[in-house]
Structure 1
Amino acid sequence: MIKFVEYNEVLENPKEYILIDVRSPKEFNEATIPGAVNIPLFTNEEREKIGYVYVNESVEKAKRIGIEAISARLPYIYDRIVSLYKPHKRLAFFCAKGGMRSGSISSLINSLGFNSYKLKGGYKGYRDFINKQLPLINEDIKYIVIHGKTGTGKTEILSRLREKGFDVLDLEYAANHRGSLLGNVGLGECRSQKMFESLVYEELSLRKSKYVFVEGESKRIGRIIISQCIFNKMNEGYHVYLEGDVSFRRENLLREYTSPDNADMEIIEDLEAMKKHISEKNIIRYKDMIMNREYDKVCEELMIKYYDPMYINSMKKHEFVEKMYIESIEDGVNKLQKWFEDNLQLEG
Structure 2
Amino acid sequence: MLEIEAHELYNLEDKVLVDVRSPSEYNEFHIPGAINLPIFEDEEKKIIGFIYRTQGTQKAKDFGYSIAQSKLARIFDSFRKLKDNHRYVIVYCWRGGMRSQELCKALSSAGIQVIRLKGGYRAYRQFILQDIQNRLRGVNFLVLTGKTGVGKSKILRLLKMEGLPVIDLEDLAQDRGSVFGKVGKKTKVSQKMFDALLYESLRGINCDYAFIEDESRCVGNIHLPDVLWSKKEEGVFIELENSMENRVKNILEEYTKVEGWEEEVRQSLERIKKYLGESDYTEALNMLKNKKYETLVKFLIETHYDRRYRVSKKPIYTINCSDIQRCKAELIKIFDTYSKICPSSFPR
2:327 aligned partner: 332
Q: CA shift at 1:64, angstroms?
A: 1.2
Is 2:208–2:340's contact at 8 Å kept on the other side of the alignment? no
1:229 aligned partner: 227
Q: CA shift at 1:73, angstroms?
A: 2.9
Render the CA deviation track for 1:63-118: whole Å, top value 9, x for unaligned: 11102222333333333323333221321111111011001111111222222011
1: distance between equivalents of 2:176 and 2:96?
35
| Count of aligned residue pairs for this structure pair | 342
1:266 aligned partner: 264
Of 82-91 and 95-104, the range deviating more from structure 2: 82-91
1: distance between equivalents of 2:99 and 2:120?
10
Render the CA deviation track for 1:296-326: whole Å, top value 9, x for unaligned: 1111111111111111xx21x3121111122
1: distance between equivalents of 2:93 and 2:85?
22
1:165 aligned partner: 163
Residue 297 (structure 1) aligned to one of 292, 295, 302:
295
2:3 aligned partner: 4
2:307 aligned partner: 309
Q: Alignment RMSD, CA only?
A: 1.6
Q: CA shift at 1:280, angstroms?
A: 3.1
1:283 aligned partner: 281
Is 1:184–1:190's contact at 8 Å kept on the other side of the alignment? no
2: distance between equivalents of 1:152 and 1:173?
17
Q: Secondary structure at the match of 1:277?
A: helix
1:209 aligned partner: 207
Q: CA shift at 1:14, angstroms?
A: 3.5
2: distance between equivalents of 1:126 and 1:136?
15
Q: Secondary structure at the match of 2:116?
A: strand
Q: 1:288 to 1:110 in 2, by over 3 A?
A: farther
Q: Secondary structure at the match of 1:177?
A: coil
Q: CA shift at 1:272, angstroms?
A: 1.2
Q: 1:269 to 1:78 in 2, by over 3 A?
A: farther
Is 1:190–1:222's contact at 8 Å kept on the other side of the alignment? no
Q: 1:42 to 1:338 in 2, by over 3 A?
A: same
One-letter amino acid matched to 1:6: E
1:344 aligned partner: 338
Q: Secondary structure at the match of 1:40?
A: coil
Gaps of 5+ in 1: none
1: distance between equivalents of 2:330 and 2:11?
37
Residue 51 (structure 1) aligned to one of 42, 49, 52:
49
2: distance between equivalents of 1:292 and 1:76?
55
Q: Secondary structure at the match of 1:35?
A: coil
Q: Secondary structure at the match of 1:213?
A: strand
2: distance between equivalents of 1:347 and 1:209?
5
Of 328-337 and 92-101, the range deviating more from structure 2: 328-337
Q: CA shift at 1:284, angstroms?
A: 3.2
Q: 1:86 to 1:291 in 2, by over 3 A?
A: farther
Of 272-281 and 207-216, the range deviating more from structure 2: 272-281
2: distance between equivalents of 1:136 and 1:246?
41
2: distance between equivalents of 1:123 and 1:248?
44
Gaps of 5+ in 2: 343-348
TM-score scaled by structure 2? 0.93
Moved over 4 A (4+): none
Question: How many percent identity over aligned positions?
Answer: 34
Q: Secondary structure at the match of 1:33?
A: coil
Q: CA shift at 1:285, angstroms?
A: 2.9
1:321 aligns with 2:316: yes
Q: Matches of residues 4-83 of structure 1 in structure 2 within 5 Å? A: 4-15=3-14, 17-83=15-81
Q: Matches of residues 117-266 of structure 1 in structure 2 within 5 Å? A: 117-266=115-264
Of 79-88 and 298-307, the range deviating more from structure 2: 79-88
1: distance between equivalents of 2:135 and 2:31?
18
One-letter amino acid matched to 2:2: K
TM-score scaled by structure 1? 0.93
One-letter amino acid matched to 2:304: Y
Render the CA deviation track for 1:148-172: whole Å, top value 9, x for unaligned: 1111111111111112121111111
Render the CA deviation track for 1:12-35: whole Å, top value 9, x for unaligned: 1242x2111111112111111101
Q: CA shift at 1:347, angstroms?
A: 6.6
One-letter amino acid matched to 1:42: F
Is 2:90–2:114's contact at 8 Å kept on the other side of the alignment? yes
2: distance between equivalents of 1:291 and 1:73?
53
